[in-house]
Amino acid sequence: MKINPIKSNFAFRGTVKNFSEDDNIIGYDDEISQSRRNFIREHYDSYRMPYQSIYESEGRLSEYRLNNLINTLTNKPRKVDYSSIISLPVPNIRYIGNNSYRGASMVDKPECLQVLKDAGIKHVISLYYSPEYEKAVKQTGLDYHCFDMKRGNAAGIEGLWSCDVCRSKQTYENLIKEIFGDDKNTIKIRLEAYDRDCRGPIDELVGFVKRMQEGYCYVGCEFGTNTTRDALCYINRAFNPQDGRELEFFDCYKADCLRNLYDKLTENDKKLMNWTKDFDANFLPKLKIAEKELLEKTLKMF
């Protein structure tokens, strides 16, 4: 290892007898000591002038570029171009707030997806599974999420509300016991499959709510009518704390479906959807209030 002498600037030649060059050395320096001093010096420089590295590596921006940079930091988030989206040749397009829209799928009109992107849309949410649509959306550079509201169950009945994920586990267990009787092994396997299969729709629901909270969404199904309404008026209103609107039921059985979906949520699911303790505590009472209002409306009709 190379060791360098550290010499004093003060010479003793005129005052000390038998003076030698070694007498002017006050210590020795090695590579480790140098690295330590450099570290201390750099630490002090970064404290005194924290952005020095930027100034040294970046040239001075022109006034025009500097103003543009400042504007990107201070401007409000971009608003979606309403006129571009509402003029698309797609049925049932409606504005739903938070820079988001609903309407029919654009699976057969991929050119419209580019208009969505240029207008400021970031997320395309499909309410039915279509690999062709997924591919077209991703090729356009948009985020794609499928929340399959039109999924089928083992009985061949279509729709989320008829799917096993909207049943309680006890109801499902009673159903398979009627079918398989005392075959405990088969019943056990079916219940394990139930827990596993329900996870997929719940993950889709959570992803749907998260994107609705972010905004800049286009939500669509084949026609953009009934299925889209169910997703927005039931699922989003019930599970999205940022929606803020009261639940209103038109079909009483959907309240039980929402309860069963709620029972399958984990603490992490609720965290991802930005639930507070108050929102969680008020979820089931909120369903009861909506049910009661529907019952009162129904009674008035007779």
CA triple 128-243-263, angle to 5 deg: 65
Region label for 257, one of left (φ > 0), alpha (ψ between -120 and 50) or beta (otherwise): alpha
**CA 171, 155, 203, 250 torsion: positive or negative?**
negative
Alpha carbons 102 and 81: distance in angstroms, whole number? 14
Q: What is the pLDDT of residue 209?
A: 98
Distances in whole angstroms, Cα of residue 79 to Cα of each of 13, 82, 118, 121, 224 = 80, 8, 11, 9, 23
Q: What pLDDT is attached to residue 27?
A: 58
Count the alpha carbons within 13 Å of 135 in the hemisphere toward its beta carbon: 4
Looking at residue 155, its pLDDT comes to 46
CA–CA dist 79, 247 (Å, integer): 28
Question: Which of 253, 251, 244, 257 is CA-nearest to residue 229?
Answer: 251
Q: Mean pLDDT in each 10-residue stretch from start to end of the chain (302 residues)?
A: 56 51 59 77 68 54 65 66 94 95 92 94 95 94 95 64 92 92 91 93 97 96 92 96 90 92 97 96 95 87 78
Nearest-angstrom CA–CA distance, 226 and 215: 21
- Per-domain residue ranges of the chain: 82-300
Q: Which CATH number fits domain 82-300: 1.20.140.10, 3.30.750.210, 3.90.870.10, 3.90.190.10?
A: 3.90.190.10
Quick one: pLDDT at residue 229? Answer: 93
DSSP code of residue 235: I
What region does 181 belong to: left with phi over 0, alpha with psi -120 to 50, or beta? Answer: left
